[in-house]
Structure 1
Amino acid sequence: MAVPLQPVKTFGNGNGGWINKLIFGDNLQVLKALMDDPEVYDKMISEGKIRLNPRTEKPEYRLEPVKTQLLDSNWTDVPGYTFKWKYPTENSEQLLERIIIASSNPGDLVLDAFAGSGTTGAVAEKLGRKWIMIDCGKLAIYAMQKRLLNLRE
Structure 2
Amino acid sequence: MAEIHPDVEAAYEDVRNDKTATTWLILQYAPPAEGKTNSDRLVVHATGEGGLSEFVSHLKPDQPAFGYVRLTVGNDEMSRRAKFILVAWCGPDVTTMRRAKLSVHIAAVKSVLKSFGVEIPASDPADLAESTVLTKVQRAMGANYDRQASSY
Q: TM-score, normalised by structure 2?
A: 0.21
Query: TM-score normalised to the size of structure 1?
Result: 0.21
Which structure has the bigger radius of gyration? 1
